[in-house]
């Protein structure tokens, strides 16, 4: 019996008891309104409910007396061994071994689908993260946002959302002109411009541009600049994409800022249209020969200029056009994952949502990630002033980085210990979890050799305390996934996996899948094989949500 089935059984018991006391008291009540919790002390049972406390006032009952009524009826449900009332009206439920153990088969048969849920069904989400300028390599900050953003996406998709991962390419504006001048100077053998980009990677880009356009330096100056910008941009963007794919991060959409300002077939640009649409909402005004948006109406610290007095649009105009475009593409909810230096964008983006006629508290979500550092990490030899994602990945490994960055909340500063992350010991959290998964496969291989397969399943034989504890945590996985998706916190999955790994190791030390010596193979051994394989499946599913591999041998 899983938590959902138990919640449904609880509702079936509660509804007639409550209605008998006060008609209409359970109208609209659904199983999710009666949540179950795992007792901290397992001696109190497998599950606990505060249903009596929650409903007592509504039905006009004493909470403890109402809890006793519920306990009497719930104890009659098949699969429940006992029900006790504790404190002012808590209900503690203990499942019988067969009901608890049946989960092992459910997990194995569900496979990769176990843990998926429908909690985000109907939500259409655009998740934008990383969005680095295509003027240089990805750095350590981008590495954290990539790991977190991708894991959040995986959680939301596993919970039924319709979602795309989107990268906003900042390929318009002054930084692209500086980039072009830097590459062209390197191609000409000249020093880096004073406001340009330095680093060996600029020289590499210049050489690549000259390889495809050996006539570059023979062209008119303006044409040289255009070719240097466009060719180097394409090369650098390709490097960003390759770095992210190597880090196990895939983007569904690469949205170019240039698209916002293009005039297709003589039509107004997306930025032009955005200004008109905001004006129609009544939040645009003119002052000092400039066009403004009254964003202070929506919590911003000051009104924002959207078009300067010289007729040029501001970055705010691009932000507004981009936000509106996401809605035009069918995304009701927009999530932005921004770096630690972007706190000022929170009110600005929410103000755009409000000025567009949307709900800033519902339709947009801005997550700010804090800084991350790695002890002993060296600055990039190519870029000179940053710690590159590729260098980190080659040094520490994708799995160690992905897991470690996903193991902490986004809003907490983080310092990683490379010495720990490279250890193959239980002190290293990613090794600890991956080793538990590899151990489940080792158990399965040895069981196959010994003839212990899954031909029999007798869940009532899983009576050892470590089996009850292991099954109890396995039951939690779908709920952990749903909650982590709801609060956008992948670290909850990582911490769950570490708990699961610990319980599996304890079970492994106490319960044999293969009988000793010449002892016969019994149903309990076949059933434990199911439990072993179920644990491996959940570890594998959880690691996948973090973008981390699940090795079969270590």
Residue-averaged pLDDT of the chain: 93
Q: Residue with structure tokens 């590159």?
A: 388
Q: Quick one: CA torsion of 44, 50, 52, 54, rounded to 10 degrees?
A: 170
491-to-1, 55, 115, 158, 530 alpha-carbon distances in Å? 27, 33, 16, 16, 28
Give the whole-angstrom CA distance, residue 527 versus residue 456: 7
Q: Determine the pLDDT at residue 28.
A: 87
Q: What are the pLDDT digits (tens) for 23-81?
A: 888 888 888 888 888 887 777 788 899 999 999 999 899 999 999 999 999 999 988 99
Q: Determine the pLDDT at residue 169.
A: 96
Q: What are the pLDDT digits (tens) for 285-335?
A: 999 999 999 999 998 889 999 999 999 999 999 999 999 999 999 999 999
Give the whole-angstrom CA distance, residue 554 versus residue 535: 17
Q: What are the pLDDT digits (tens) for 449-500?
A: 999 999 999 999 999 999 999 999 999 999 999 999 999 999 999 999 999 9
Give yes or no for residue 341 having a pLDDT over 90.
no
Quick one: which of 343, 396, 397 has its CA closest to 370? 343
Q: Would you tell me which CATH number, out of the four given (3.30.70.100, 3.10.310.30, 3.30.470.20, 3.30.1360.70), belongs to the domain 3-95? A: 3.30.1360.70
Question: Rounded mean pLDDT of 136-161?
Answer: 96
149-to-81, 108, 133, 526, 543 alpha-carbon distances in Å? 43, 29, 17, 41, 15
Task: Provide, rounded to the nearest whole percent, the portion of the chain with pLDDT above 90.
Answer: 82
Q: What are the pLDDT digits (tens) for 407-439?
A: 999 988 899 999 999 999 999 999 999 999 999
Contact present, 36 and 43 (Cβ < 8 Å): no
Q: Determine the pLDDT at residue 343.
A: 79
Cβ-Cβ contacts under 8 Å for 221 (sequence gap 6 or more): none
Cβ-Cβ contacts under 8 Å for 226 (sequence gap 6 or more): 180
Q: What are the pLDDT digits (tens) for 76-118?
A: 998 899 999 999 999 999 888 888 899 999 999 999 999 999 9
Q: Residue with structure tokens 């505060």?
A: 50
Superfamily for 424-545?
Isoleucyl-tRNA Synthetase; Domain 1 (1.10.730.10)
Task: Provide, rounded to the nearest whole percent, the portion of the chain with pLDDT above 70.
Answer: 100
Here the tokens at position 48 are 């606990």
Question: Rounded mean pLDDT of 240-256?
Answer: 97
Distance of CA 4 to the CA centre of its chain: 23
DSSP one-letter string for 328-357: HTT-SEEEEEE-GGGTTHHHHHHHHHHHTT
Q: What are the pLDDT digits (tens) for 188-241?
A: 999 999 999 999 999 999 999 999 999 999 999 999 999 999 999 999 999 999
Here the tokens at position 427 are 């002190």
Q: Residue with structure tokens 């003027």?
A: 135
Domain coordinates in residue numbering, the chain: 3-95, 124-170+250-372, 174-246, 424-545
What's the sign of the alpha-carbon dihedral 38, 39, 41, 45? negative
Q: Determine the pLDDT at residue 385.
A: 78
Q: What are the pLDDT digits (tens) for 486-505?
A: 999 999 999 999 999 999 99
Cβ-Cβ contacts under 8 Å for 310 (sequence gap 6 or more): none
Parallel, antiparallel or unpaired: strands 90-95 and 47-49:
antiparallel
**Taking CA 435 as the corner, what is the angle to CA 516 and CA 531, rounded to the nearest 5 degrees?**
50
Q: Would you tell me which CATH number, out of the four given (3.40.50.620, 3.40.50.2300, 3.60.15.10, 3.30.70.360), belongs to the domain 124-170+250-372? A: 3.40.50.620
Can you give 398-441 as a three-state secondary structure string?
HHHHHHHHHCCCCCCCEEECHHHHCCCCCCCHHHHHHHHHHHHH
Q: Determine the pLDDT at residue 339.
A: 86
Here the tokens at position 183 are 């590459």
């Amino acid at each position: 019996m899983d938590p959902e089935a138990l919640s449904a059984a609880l509702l079936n018991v509660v509804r007639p008891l409550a209605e008998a006391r006060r008609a209409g008291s359970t109208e609209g009540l659904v199983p999710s309104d009666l949540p179950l919790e795992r007792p901290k002390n397992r001696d109190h049972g497998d599950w606990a409910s505060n249903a009596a406390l929650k409903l007592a006032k509504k039905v006009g009952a004493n909470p403890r007396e109402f809890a006793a009524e519920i306990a009497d009826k719930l104890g009659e449900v098949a699969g429940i061994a006992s029900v006790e009332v504790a404190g002012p009206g808590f209900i503690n439920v203990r499942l019988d071994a067969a009901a608890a153990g049946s989960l092992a088969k459910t997990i194995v048969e569900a496979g990769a689908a176990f843990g998926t849920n429908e909690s985000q069904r109907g939500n259409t989400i655009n998740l934008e993260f990383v969005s680095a300028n295509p003027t240089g390599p990805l750095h350590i900050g981008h590495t954290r946002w990539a790991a977190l953003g991708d894991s959040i996406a995986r959680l939301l998709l596993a919970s039924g959302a319709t979602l795309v991962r989107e990268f906003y390419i900042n390929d318009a504006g002054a930084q692209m002109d500086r980039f072009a001048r830097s590459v062209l100077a390197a191609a000409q053998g000249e020093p880096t411009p004073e406001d340009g980009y330095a680093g060996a990677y600029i020289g590499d880009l210049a050489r690549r541009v000259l390889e495809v356009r050996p006539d570059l330096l023979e062209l008119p100056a303006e044409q040289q600049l255009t070719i240097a910008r466009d060719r180097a941009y394409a090369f650098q963007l390709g490097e960003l994409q390759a770095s992210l794919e190597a880090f196990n991060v895939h983007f569904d959409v690469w949205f170019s800022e240039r698209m916002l300002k293009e005039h297709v077939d003589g039509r107004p640009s997306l930025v032009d249209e955005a200004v008109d649409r905001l004006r129609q909402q009544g939040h645009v005004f003119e002052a000092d020969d400039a066009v403004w948006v009254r964003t202070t109406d929506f919590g911003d610290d000051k009104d924002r200029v959207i078009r300067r007095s010289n007729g040029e649009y501001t970055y705010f105009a691009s932000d507004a056009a981009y936000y509106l475009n996401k809605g035009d593409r069918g995304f009701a909810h927009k999530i932005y994952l921004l770096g630690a230096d972007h706190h000022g964008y929170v009110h600005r983006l929410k103000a755009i949502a409000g000025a567009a006629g949307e709900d800033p508290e519902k339709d947009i979500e801005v997550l700010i990630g804090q800084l991350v550092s790695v002890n002993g990490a060296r600055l990039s030899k190519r870029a000179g002033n940053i710690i590159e994602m590729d260098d980190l990945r080659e040094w520490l490994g994708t799995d160690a980085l992905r897991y470690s960055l996903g193991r902490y909340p986004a809003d907490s500063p983080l310092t990683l210990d490379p010495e720990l992350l490279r250890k193959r010991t239980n002190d290293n959290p990613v090794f600890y979890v991956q080793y538990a998964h590899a151990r489940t496969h080792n158990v399965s291989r040895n069981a196959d050799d010994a003839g212990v397969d899954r031909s029999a399943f007798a869940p009532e034989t899983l009576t050892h305390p470590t089996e009850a504890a292991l099954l109890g945590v396995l039951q939690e996985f779908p709920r952990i996934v749903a909650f982590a998706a709801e609060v956008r916190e992948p670290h909850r999955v990582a911490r769950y996996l570490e708990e699961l790994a610990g319980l599996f190791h304890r079970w492994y030390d106490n319960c044999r899948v293969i009988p000793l010596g010449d002892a016969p193979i019994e149903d309990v051994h076949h059933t434990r094989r199911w439990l072993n394989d179920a644990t491996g499946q959940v570890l594998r599913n959880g690691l996948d949500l973090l973008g981390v591999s699940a090795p079969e041998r270590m």
